A and B are shown apart, each in its own frame.
Chain A
Amino acid sequence: AQSVTQLDSHVSVSEGTPVLLRCNYSSSYSPSLFWYVQHPNKGLQLLLKYTSAATLVKGINGFEAEFKKSETSFHLTKPSAHMSDAAEYFCVVSDPIAGKSTFGDGTTLTVKP
């Protein structure tokens, strides 16, 4: 069994300030973890993934995430927010055998000028 909890439904930051989107997971397996971004009326774009290699994962558009097994967390960060980062972000855990993905509830990121 697997589950994902995104700890914040909404995060609001000012442009140029850091972003932190929090995610905790539960998995019976050694998990594969992902962050996807969804802009309004758009599909799901893969930001980054963790698959048991380096615990600090770098993704696109300056995002990165750190896998912490002891805390069962996979928080997403970015040093400096840009207006174009405003979107919905989903943390996802994937079953490495069947590949079924379980999504978190999502976090809406708002970036203020």
Chain B
Amino acid sequence: EPEVTQTPSHQVTQMGQEVILRCVPISNHLYFYWYRQILGQKVEFLVSFYNNEISEKSEIFDDQFSVERPDGSNFTLKIRSTKLEDSAMYFCASRGPWGTDTQYFGPGTRLTVL
């Protein structure tokens, strides 16, 4: 069964450094999402992406964050200058064409900012 993959599974970085989290969505999906889960808290929406542009973003998704679909398969989340509070599990998700409703989540990348 097709699945969403994410790399790396765990990323450790120093405060102020840039990180790029990578996701490979399911191949025929058209809608892409990033969510984050701070340890012990609920999963929060960050951003949705469709047709090569952001369709919606939350207040968490400030100028330090950006997303890109650089080729036909990858979907990336970049954090320009990481802060301690960016430490979290980041989940990528993808969804099929309009009219389908199920988002398929990747296994997550655990980001630790020191």
Contacts and interface: CB of A to CB of B under 8 A. Distances in A.
Q: Do A and B bind each other?
A: yes
Interface of A: 32, 34, 36, 42-44, 46, 49, 51, 90, 94, 96, 98-106
Interface of B: 31, 33, 35, 42-45, 48, 55-56, 91, 93, 95, 101-108
B102 A49 contact: yes
Nearest to A52: B101
Contacts of A99: 31, 33, 48, 95, 101, 103
A57 B58 CA distance: 31
Nearest to B31: A99
A102 B33 CA distance: 12
Contacts of A90: 42-43
B102 A106 contact: no
Given A51-B101, A94-B103, A101 B42 contact: no
Given A32-B101, A43-B106, A44-B105, A100 B56 contact: yes
A43 B91 contact: yes
Contacts of B103: 94, 99, 101
Contacts of A46: 102, 104-105
Given A43-B107, A49-B102, A94-B101, A103 B42 contact: yes
B55 A43 contact: no
A101 B31 contact: no
A61 B38 CA distance: 27
Contact of B102 (A34, A42, A100): A34
Which of B55, B93, B102 has the most A CB atoms < 10 Å from its CB? B102
B56 A98 contact: yes
B106 to A, nearest CB: 7
Which of A43, A49, A94 has the most B CB atoms < 10 Å from its CB? A43
